[in-house]
Amino acid sequence: MKVIRDLFRDYRFVVSFLVLTVLVGLVVLSAFSPYDPSRWLQTPKDLPPSQEHLLGTDSKGQDVFWQATFAVRNSLLIAIIAAGLSRVIALLIGLVAGYRGGGWDKFFMFITDSFLVMPLFLFIVLLAMLLKDRLSLVTLGLLLGVFGWAWDARVIRSQVLSLREREFTKTAVLSGTKTLSLVVKEYIPHVTPIVFTTLINNMSWVIGMEITLAILGLLNMDIPTLGVMLQWAISYQAMLLGYWWWYLTPTVLAVLLFVALYWLSVSISEYLDPRTRIQRVGMG
Amino acid sequence: MNMRWRILGIAFLGITILTIPVFSQLAPSLPRSETLIVDQLTGRTGAPDNFNEWVGWKWRDRGMQQLMNEPLWSIDFATGEIINGLAATLPEYNGDFTQVTIRLREGVYWSDGVPITADDVVFTIELIKSTPGMNYQAPLESNVNKAYAVDEHTVVIELKQPNSRFHTYFLDRWGCLWIMPKHVFKTVTDPLTFQFNPPVSSGPYVLHSYDPSGYWTVWERREDWDRTPTGILFGMPKPKYVVFRAYGDPASKVLGMLRHELDSADLTAEALKAVLAQGRTVRAYQPSFPWVVNSDPCITGLTFNTMKPPYDNPEVRWALVLAIDIVNYESIAVDGMAPVSPLHIPYLPGYAALFFEPMEEWLKEFTLDLGGGETFKPYDPEVPFKLAELARSRGYAVPETPEDIKTAFGPGWWKYAPDVAEKLLTKNGFYRDEAGRWHLPDGSLWKIRVLGRSDLSHLSTRNSIAAAQLWKEFGIAAEAVLSVDFSSLGLTGEFEVTTDWPAFEPWGAGPDLYRTLSPFHSENVAPLGETTPGHVSRWSSPVMDQLIDQLETTDPTNVGATAAVGIESLKVLIQDMPSIPTFNYTGFVAWDEYYWTNWPGIENPYAQPYVHWGPFKYMLPFLNPTGR
Amino acid sequence: MLKGGRLRFFRRYFLPRLAQYLLVTFIGINVAFFIPRLFPSDPVLETIGTIRSQGTYLDPATVDKFISDLRELYGLEGTIGEQYVDFWKRLFRGDFGISLFQFPEPVLSLIGKAIPWTVGLLLTSTFLSWLFGLVIGGIAGYYPNRLWVRALDAVSMLVRPLPYYIFAFILLIIFAYVVPWFPLGGGSSIGWRPELSFRFFADVIRHAFLPFISLTLLGTAAMYQMTKLVVQNINAEDFVQYAQLGGVKGRAIISKYVLRNAMLPLFTNLVLSLGQIFGGALITEIVFSYPGLGTLTYHAVVSGDYNLILGVTTISVVAVTTCIFLADLVYPLLDPRVRYR
């Protein structure tokens, strides 16, 4: 309880929490959508926002607002799966390789480098082409997660390498602290800011990747995600025809999503780091 | 703090400096008022240094087929004429079509001053025939026995078997076999890898420069343009320079046109709307809705894989036709802008008199047998008016008279009759479950995957999306599968329904439908698992085979007889419906009249309107510079 | 520094890394060889499909022969084993073979034409955005509560999540259409044959400016955020507090204490970014019609052009592994506390 109260003292946490609640609200609303998101001609085309259609309609004959609820839901799903999977992998590998060193380090770095070396984009495109039929949201999330950890694993590992040589590590080892508790209690808070930054990087990379794949025509265009929605708007020249409600919606939503996540991560990581917490919250 | 200001200062200075030089996109040596800039349909050239179009695919719409090469003959589908290029007259066949004589035009020279003679033609034929890997090697080898020059301007070709259409290999309808300069190619050791750079032109323009990365190609008018067929027939091409530019996407083309940096562009439906709305000097092919080039000689639609059940059953195919509401279909695909066609040929002005009007009665009377004594007449001549209604509801200005409506929207199409479709399906063992979803006779859920290209601006993709939507509404679990392997999958038969051309396009002029029909001949159909050389529907029928054989022995210059065979074959195609023609390929062409006017719009169709086809060179003498 | 243990360094540090580097490169190239062949895109059928759909009437009676002729021409006739061996033989001669779809252009020449554009654009952009982000982020992390820092925070936060396509296209519309200061696309002006002149160079820069800005702005924003976070973390360390108490000037603290400690992860970032250059920037190239490796690679993938895919992948793999290898060598120099067991 106290934790939550302390967190709420940070205005950034408050704002991001609110924004995320709204977005999650949209996700929940998607279950009540009166329109089928994969069907065309459900409404008249290209209407600007009005009472009946809060965010107007697009050139496919769909209501932009209800489309957006599905888009947010699907994009979040992909991003969570992808970023989650890749954080877990990156953290595990980075920590173990950095701390254990020796054979473990060599082995893990070998795998990491193999992944880093592959022209990421090329292989994602190749695999997306191969899986095109079975490229559901979950599969896409897993695919992007599997490719997104290598970079950050190295970063985490280098951070751990630095930490390992610091005074407090030597102190802890001398005083008999077990490896696991050392890692968990002491390193993770140091590593957390990096993990959170990279989480945000990763989620925005995932969404960017998803949009790129959509623009290249490799995603299933019937399943609305932020990227797919944007791609429809781009292909149908929404910008040049002045249908601002159609292309601004996924853009603004993406921006909001990112800002919320970023502020959330910054405030949480500042909270977790004992020194900054004291600076912010006081000794109480 | 200091660093910040320094950085800002440098950035500001940089921007100021960079804006000083030339503002336009052209190098200073190309005067804009004498330059025509058009877009390159096939995108960025992949092999920019290579001008050898006799091997492989060389992005020849970068100016090669339009400006550099003059073919023996061309077809202009807008006027319906065959234009004699390097040839002086139409080909002369002997009585049993085993020998053809070609008379060349006199006074025609290559751009390096060498005269074009019969030797070039003979050399071309012999070189290609003896070099496997060249595009036309196989047909020449199987057709040509001997080719020789009788005199400087006459070539005689002896064929191995009768072929009344042999000359069509040299007829530029959409590309053809062009004539090589013998004096250049005879010293080449490997013609397959020869780059032909710099190229020697038979047409009115020569290569000026090109982008090593493939984004643009500049052509300059020949000084001796009057020694080319274009010059002789039509006069001096007005633009001194012609630039072909490849853009990344339609939005950039629109912006380019609005900045007067692009004079002609082939866009998408929405991009066309955008540029017309924002550009003050921009016009489309038609001055008002539907704006599109409706006389394109290609027909788009859906093609069944007739070797895969249940699509091997013509009644199932017909049911799927009747399940489509063509008005909604067009709304989804092209916002109602394209003319529909019920026949497997596009609705062209030249074909209206030859095929559509004579078949009107038959179409109206055509009957489907639903079993149990029930029959149904599926043709609906009211479709163009329904499409006009759709356009009106979208706020477009629609033509008023029935004639104009038919020109804009087509003569008619098949009725939307889901109840009849149901009868046909239940007759064949299909059934609906409680949720209304269709099941195959074997009990499984009926899923249709409609194959389309991955490019959303391509009409085949739009067809696949529309078909999937409409069949979904009917209760079938249909989905549009947009694939980058579109060509490979089609050729190997790994699809159920695809959106490849429902029939190969005919010549665009004249009564001869041989090009459309011969791919359906049973000798061109391969079993599943092998690549098929004929039409990807892998359909054939003994009746059609007979008609094709009959057509082969009919003299193409006998309009009445050729058209009659054509009409009979079109009837067979409708009865069996191996593929569903939906609407004409529509060109969403926009022209900017800021620098050049007198484009061949619908009110002045002196030539075909596209810049990516050969006859573009015949448009150039008629364009007028505005002098800006 | 390492004088006495130089031989030891060589043996225990350098050699294993070298071996690893070679092995990883080898695996990367192998993957690039085998995976495209798993795909349904058949380069011969794609060529046939394009030729047919763009005009040549392929007489059905003779298509089969044409296909087998092409297969032979493209060198796709042998078994996979034969093709594999052949590939390595050619590779050691520096010959990547001939592009299958853009026949008969040699792969190396295609890549060679695209590389100057990609490297020129991305190298400057990556490096400059890293530098700017580092410097600005470092200062910002040290003075997190100043007004300009907060303003920058807000701006970078709004700019980063913008889908890159939209960001690039908006730049294009504003600076190439609304105020037509810059060209709409291309690498250089039309009709201008490349020459060594200041005017041509200025022309190239003008064309590269918008793509450069779009990439650098986003890159700087990302780097800025990352640096700021890392620096804020280090800021709270004891030695920084001591330095402040001891009266060391802010600037000195930042450059001598804070940034040097932050170097390790940030340097990793730079090195990996530089390695990724050879992937090209596909969306940039599409929006600005800019020549480069991105579109080359993409078209290679889509048309199943095995040789070109292999060529681009090999170069990319070698570039990235080399960067990582060099980075590993430089680590001990940056952070002397790094020891290897």
The Cα B407–Cα A168 span in angstroms is 85
How close C80 comes to chain A (CA, Å)? 19
Residues A126, C41: C-beta atoms closer than 8 Å: no
For residue B108, what pLDDT band results from cuts at 50, 70 and 90? very high
Residues of chain A above pLDDT 90, percent: 10
* DSSP code, position B369: E
Q: Which of A47, A125, A213, A235 to mutate to test the interface with B (most CBs of B within 10 A)?
A: A235
Residue A278 sits at the chain B interface (C-beta within 8 Å): no
Which among B42, B213, B492 is the nearest to C291, CB-wise? B213
State the average pLDDT over residues B343-348. 88
A218 inside 8 A of chain B by CB: yes
Which pLDDT does position A139 carry in this prediction? 85
Give whole-number Cα distances, B321 to B143, B344, B439, B577, in Å.
Answer: 40, 14, 18, 9
What is the pTM assigned to this prediction? 0.85
Cα distance from N-terminal residue to C-terminal residue, chain C: 18
What's the rounded Cα separation, in Å, for the pair C40 and C42?
6
**pLDDT band of B135, cuts 50, 70, 90:** confident
In chain C, positions 88-147, which contact chain B (CB-CB < 8 Å)?
99, 101-105, 110, 113-114, 117, 132, 135-136
Is A40–B268 a contact, with Cβ atoms under 8 angstroms apart?
no
State whether residue B198 sits within 8 Å of chain C by CB: no
Tokens of B505: 């396009």
Q: What whole-number distance in Å separates Cα of residue B564 and Cα of residue B511?
A: 9
What lies within 8 Å, CB to CB, of B85 at 6+ separation is B70, B71, B72, B73, B74, B105, B172, B229
Q: pLDDT (tens digit, 9 = 90+) per residue, C17-56?
A: 777 778 877 887 887 788 777 766 677 887 787 777 766 6
| Whole-angstrom distance, CA of residue C4 vs CA of residue C10 | 11
Mean pLDDT of C326-341: 65
* Position B486 pLDDT exceeds 90: no
- How far is Cα A120 from Cα A223, in angstroms, rounded to an integer? 24
**Residue-level pLDDT at A284:** 40
Q: Say if residues B61 and C54 touch (Cβ distance below 8 Å).
A: yes
Distance CA A34, CA A27 (A): 14
CA B493 remoteness from chain centre: 22
User: What pLDDT shows up at residue A222?
Assistant: 83
Q: Taking CA atoms, what residue in B is nearest to C73? A: B133
Which of B219-223, B509-513, C176-180, C311-315 ranks highest by mean pLDDT?
B219-223
Report the largest interatomic distance among the alpha carbons of chain C, rounded to a whole angstrom. 90
How high does pLDDT run on average in chain C? Answer: 78
The Cα B65–Cα B55 span in angstroms is 14
The secondary structure of residue B413, as a DSSP letter, is E
Residue type, A182: L
Q: According to the model, what pLDDT value does residue A88 have?
A: 87
pLDDT at C5: 57
The Cβ of residue B352 has, within 10 Å, a number of other Cβ atoms equal to 15
Confidence grade of residue B159 (pLDDT, cut at 50, 70, 90): very high
φ, ψ (nearest 5 deg) of residue B335: 55, 35
**For B579-625, how does the pLDDT look when each residue is reduced to its tens digit (9 = 90+)?**
999 998 888 999 999 999 999 998 888 888 999 988 999 999 999 99
**Per-residue pLDDT at A279:** 59
- pLDDT given at position A154: 78
DSSP label of B115: B
Give the residue with greater pLDDT, C269 vs C220: C220
| pLDDT of C274 | 76
CA nearest neighbour of B211 among B25, B53, B35: B25
| Contact predicate B339/B582, CB 8 Å | no
Query: Nearest by CB to A126, which of C16, C36, C225?
Result: C36
CB contact under 8 A, A217 and B482: yes
d(CA A277, CA A269): 9
Chain C residues inside the 8 Å CB shell of B521: 60
Number of CB atoms found within 10 A of residue B357's CB: 11
Whether B318 has a pLDDT exceeding 80, the answer reads yes
CA gyration radius, chain A = 22
Half-sphere exposure of A7 (CA within 13 A, CB side): 17
Q: How far is C201 from chain A (nearest CA, A)?
A: 31
Chain A interface, mutation test: which of C145, C162, C214, C235, most A Cβ atoms within 10 Å? C162
Residues 297-356 in B contacting A (C-alpha not used; CB under 8 Å): 328, 331-332, 335
C72 pLDDT tier (thresholds 50, 70, 90) = confident
Confidence of residue B21 (pLDDT cuts 50, 70, 90): very low
CB contact under 8 A, B488 and C49: yes
Model pLDDT, residue B313 = 93
DSSP summary character for residue C201: H
Q: How do B431-432 and B438-439 pair as beta strands?
A: antiparallel
E-assigned strands of B323-453? 368-371, 374-376, 379-380, 413-414, 431-432, 438-439, 447-453
Count other Cβ atoms within 10 Å, centred on residue C242: 11
Phi first, then psi: give them for residue B300, nearest 5 degrees. -105, 170
What are residue B428's phi and psi, to 5 degrees?
Answer: -100, 15
Taking residues B106-116, report their average pLDDT: 94
B274:A216 CB<8 A: no
* Confidence class for position B464, pLDDT limits 50, 70, 90: very high
3.40.50.1240, 1.10.3720.10, 3.40.50.300, 1.10.238.10: CATH of A2-31+63-281: 1.10.3720.10
| Whether C179 contacts chain B with CB within 8 A | no
Query: Which of B136-140, B383-387, C184-188 bottoms out in mean pLDDT, i.e. has the lowest?
Result: C184-188
- Span of B1-15, B89-103, C58-72 with lowest mean pLDDT: B1-15
Q: Does A59 touch chain B (CB under 8 A)?
A: yes
Tell me yes or no: is domain C119-304 CATH 1.10.3720.10: yes
Is A59 in Cβ contact with B273 (below 8 Å)?
Answer: no
B213, B258, B459, best to mutate vs chain C, most C CBs in 10 Å: B213
Which chain B residue is nearest to residue A47, measuring alpha carbons?
B394
Six-digit token pair at A224?
């609305």
pLDDT, one tens digit per residue, over A266-280 is 777 677 666 566 655
Q: Hey, of C31, C166, C226, C312, which one would you mutate to test binding to chain A, going by the most A CBs within 10 A of its CB?
A: C166
Separation CA A6–CA B53 (nearest Å): 73
Instruction: Answer yes or no: are the C-beta atoms of C268 and C255 closer than 8 Å.
Output: no
Is residue B12 over pLDDT 80?
Answer: no
| Record: contact A126-C301, CB cut-off 8 A | yes
Q: Which residue type, as a one-letter code, is found at position B313?
A: N
How confident is residue A179, by pLDDT bands cut at 50, 70 and 90?
low
Q: What is the reported pLDDT for A278?
A: 62
Answer yes or no: is pLDDT of A233 > 70: yes
The whole-number pLDDT of residue C336 equals 64
Q: What number is the average pLDDT over the span B400-408? A: 88
The answer to whether the Cβ–Cβ distance between B268 and A41 falls below 8 Å is no
For residue B306, give Cα distances in angstroms to B325, B434, B472. 23, 30, 21
Query: Is the pLDDT higher at B92 or at A2?
Result: B92
Q: CB B270 to CB A237 under 8 A?
A: yes
* Residue B22: predicted pLDDT: 42
Chains linked to C by 3 or more Cβ pairs within 8 Å: A, B
What is the Cα–Cα distance from B472 to B467, expressed in whole angstroms?
8
Q: What does the pLDDT read at residue B388?
A: 93
In the predicted structure, residue A79 carries a pLDDT above the cut 80: yes
Question: Pick from C49, C63, C209: which is nearest to B487 by CB?
Answer: C49
Q: Does B457 touch chain A (CB under 8 A)?
A: yes
Q: How many angstroms away from the CA of C48 is the closest CA of chain B?
A: 8
* Between C260 and C202, the higher pLDDT residue: C202
Give the integer Cα–Cα distance in Å for A246 and A235: 12
At C279, is the pLDDT very low, low, confident or very high (cuts 50, 70, 90)? low
Gap between the Cα atoms of B218 and C189, Å rounded? 12
- C285 Cβ under 8 Å from any chain B Cβ: yes
Q: What is the mean pLDDT of chain B?
A: 89
Q: Which residues contact B565 (CB under 8 A, 6 or more apart)?
A: B513, B547, B550, B551, B554
Count CB neighbours of C113 within 10 A: 20
Cβ contact B250–A41 (<8 Å): no
Cis before B581 (ω within 30): no
What lies within 8 Å, CB to CB, of C289 at 6+ separation is B215, B246, B247, B248, B252, C184, C185, C186
Q: Which of A24-28, A154-158, C119-123, C290-294 is predicted least confidently?
A: A154-158
> According to the model, what pLDDT value does residue B184 have?
94
Interface of C with A in 171-200 (CB under 8 A): 173
Cα–Cα dist B380/B376, whole Å: 12
Residue C176, pLDDT > 90, answer: no
The whole-number average pLDDT for the span B397-425 is 90
Tell me: the pLDDT tens digits for B43-99?
888 888 899 989 888 888 899 999 999 999 998 877 778 899 999 999 999 888 899
- Give the range among B117-121, B246-250, B508-512 with minimum mean pLDDT: B508-512
- Inter-chain residue contact B494 with C47, CB threshold 8 Å: no
From CA B489, how far away is CA B498, in angstroms rounded?
9
Q: H or E stretch including B478?
A: strand B477-483
Q: For residues B559-575, give the mean pLDDT.
A: 92
pLDDT of residue B15: 58
Structure tokens at C203: 């022309």
Q: Is residue C64 very low, low, confident or very high in pLDDT (cuts 50, 70, 90)?
A: confident
CA distances to A226, B47, B266, B461, C279 from B43, in Å: 28, 12, 11, 18, 21
Is C206 within 8 Å of B26 when comparing Cβ atoms?
no
> What integer pLDDT is reported at residue C198 of this predicted model?
81
Among A8-17, B363-372, B563-572, C44-53, the minimum mean pLDDT is found in C44-53
Mean pLDDT, residues B305-315 taken together: 92
- CA of C297: which chain B residue's CA is closest? B46
For B321, the token pair is: 């036709």
Read off the pLDDT of each residue in C201-221 and give the average, rounded to a whole number: 87
C-alpha angle with apex B567: B564 to B569, nearest 5 degrees?
A: 115
The A residues from 29 to 48 touching B (CB cutoff 8 Å) are: 39-41, 45
CB–CB contact C101 B489 (8 Å):
no
Q: So what's the pLDDT on residue A133? A: 64
Is the four-CA dihedral A33, A34, A38, A43 of positive or negative sign? negative
Instruction: State the ipTM, two decimals.
Output: 0.81
* pLDDT higher than 60, residue B375: yes
Backbone phi, then psi, for A229, in 5-degree steps?
-60, -40
Helix ranges (DSSP H) in B117-249:
118-129, 137-143, 182-185, 229-234
Is B63 in CB contact (< 8 Å) with chain C? no
Q: Return the partners of chain A (3 or more C-beta pairs < 8 Å).
A: B, C
Q: How far is CA B363 from the centre of its chain?
A: 26
Cα dihedral across residues C137, C138, C140, C145: positive or negative: positive
Cis amide linkage into residue C211, ω under 30° from 0: no
User: How far apart are the C-alpha atoms of C332 and C321, rounded to whole Å?
Assistant: 18
Q: Tell me the chain C residues in contact with residue A126 when contact means C-beta distances shorter than 8 Å.
A: 35-36, 39, 301
CB contact under 8 A, C190 and B243: yes
Round to whole Å and give the CA distance between C24 and C7.
Answer: 25
Which of B37, B65, B533 has the CB atom closest to C60's CB atom? B533
CB pairs under 8 A between B and C: 215
CB proximity under 8 Å: B 70-99 to C:
none
How confident is the model at residue B9, as a pLDDT? 62
Position A283 scores a pLDDT of 46
For chains A and C, CB pairs below 8 A equal 158
| Chain A residues close to B465, C-beta within 8 Å | 40, 221
B251 in reach of chain A (CB within 8 A):
yes
Q: How many angstroms separate the CA of residue C1 from the nearest CA in chain B?
A: 33
| Residue numbers of C between 295 and 314 with CB closer than 8 Å to A | 297-298, 301, 309, 312-313
Given this model, what pLDDT does residue C341 score?
A: 38
Q: Look up residue C36 and give its two tokens.
A: 């495209």
Instruction: Map out the domains of chain C as residue ranges.
Output: 119-304
- CB neighbourhood size of B383 (10 A): 23
Q: Mind telling me how many Å the CA of B193 is from chain C's nearest CA?
A: 6
